[in-house]
Amino acid sequence: MRDFIVRAEGLKKHYPLSGEGGRKKLHALDGVSLTIQQGEILGIVGESGCGKSTLGRCLLRLTDITAGKVYFDGADITDHDRRALKNIRRNMQMIFQNPYSSFDPKYKLGTSLREVGKVNDIKEEVLEERIKRLMEYINLPGDMLDRRPSELSGGQLQRLAIARALLLEPRFIVADEPVSALDVSVQAQILNLLTDLRKEFNMTMLFISHEMTVVEHLCDRVAVMYLGRIVETAPTRKLFSGLLHPYTRALIRSVPRSHPDEECERIILSGEIPSAIDLPKGCRFAKRCPRATALCFESEPELTEIEDGHYVACFEQ
């Protein structure tokens, strides 16, 4: 099992809700198991509220876990306290969606970057050397470090956010919608940068996105989440050509076509994304599923391997 940088087993994160005597809970994550290998980019897709971001936060232990286990580099970090976490955190970093809110607006960017090194006791010469090298990588002039966030464009700032995440040479990065706020031409630059960086640093990454084409472009493997659970996971090409779970199918077929003449058998899901508070009995997707049978409303299908590396949670398979 040494190959796995990150492993989660039966991960649950429930948020108690105020009111109703505290008996109701929001099931943000409800039993997620996954592994991420060294050098792999795992994409997580799903609609808002499916638990994508909570999953990222749990893997980094930015939040406490209700049940299940998280392993990082072979060690169980589920119950690590703050001090123990500090030591492993330098090996795990995060990139957020909005770069303007992930930098202190009053700090010069150089200060924000150097702070990371200081907190983690990195020697100044080493730190400066790394910053210099990273600035070359992200293709920004060094004098950008003397500016403040408001003076940069979203794309430039997101590149700096990536540089900051790489400053400690982490072994694992969670990128939560890192290109969603950017224009397509800037998005292309950032995606190319990530491709470069993964080659250079053999980076391992959890890439959270709601944009299917972006995930398809960048990721090695994709996990589709629905209401706190993984419903399908497979190597990217297999997932996009196989499309076994009815939810994956609907999700992919909701993406606007890339040409007016493209044949596209649209599947429009009726209804809204159900709430993670009152979970339905049986398969969580049954209510919106065009193929649901009586069985689907009775019991919940398990994630089962149907082909090498391809797992689906659906009775039809």
Partner 1 sequence: MERRLLEIRDLKVDLMTQRGIVYALQGVNMDICEGEIHGLVGESGCGKSMTSKAILHLLDRRRSRVSGSVLLEGRELIGLSEREMRKVRGNLISIVFQDPMISLNPLMTVGDQIAESYTNHQGDSRKAALAKAFDMLELVGIHPADRRMKQYPFELSGGLQQRVMIAMAAACRPKLLIADEPTTSLDVTIQAQILELFKELRRELKMSILMITHNFGIVAEICDRVSVMYAGRVIETASSRGIFDRTAHPYSRALIASIPKARHYCEYLPVIPGSPPRQFEREIGCSFRPRCPYRDASCDRAQALSKVGEGHMSACTRAFDRG
For partner 1, the closer of residues 68 and 232 by Cβ is 232
Q: What minimum distance in Å lies between the beta carbon of 104 and partner 1?
A: 23
Q: What share of the chain is helix, strand, coil (3-state, %, to 5)?
A: 35, 25, 40
For partner 1, the closer of residues 21 and 241 by Cβ is 241
Q: What CA–CA distance (Å, rounded) separates 144 from 260?
A: 42
Q: What minimum distance in Å lies between the beta carbon of 152 and partner 1?
A: 11
For partner 1, the closer of residues 60 and 250 by Cβ is 250
Report CA-CA distances (Å) from 268 to 105, 208, 244, 249, 262: 42, 23, 17, 10, 17
For partner 1, the closer of residues 128 and 211 by Cβ is 211
- Give, rounded to a whole angstrom, the gap between the first and last alpha carbons of the chain: 28
For partner 1, the closer of residues 25 and 217 by Cβ is 217
For partner 1, the closer of residues 72 and 285 by Cβ is 285
Q: How many residues does the chain have?
A: 317
Report CA-CA distances (Å) from 238 to 43, 87, 306: 13, 37, 12
Q: What minimum distance in Å lies between the beta carbon of 307 and partner 1?
A: 19
Q: What minimum distance in Å lies between the beta carbon of 47 and partner 1?
A: 4
Antiparallel, parallel or unpaired: β 4-16 and 67-72: antiparallel
Q: What minimum distance in Å lies between the beta carbon of 177 and partner 1?
A: 12
* Site residues (vs partner 1, CB under 8 A): 47-48, 153-155, 183-189, 191-192, 195, 210-214, 216-217, 237, 240-241, 250-252, 254-262, 266, 268-270, 272-273
Q: What minimum distance in Å lies between the beta carbon of 49 and partner 1?
A: 9
With contact defined as beta carbons under 8 Å apart, do 95 and 165 qualify?
yes
Q: Count CA atoms closer than 13 A to 89's CA, side-chain side.
A: 17
Task: Phi first, then psi: give them for residue 190, nearest 5 degrees.
Answer: -70, -40
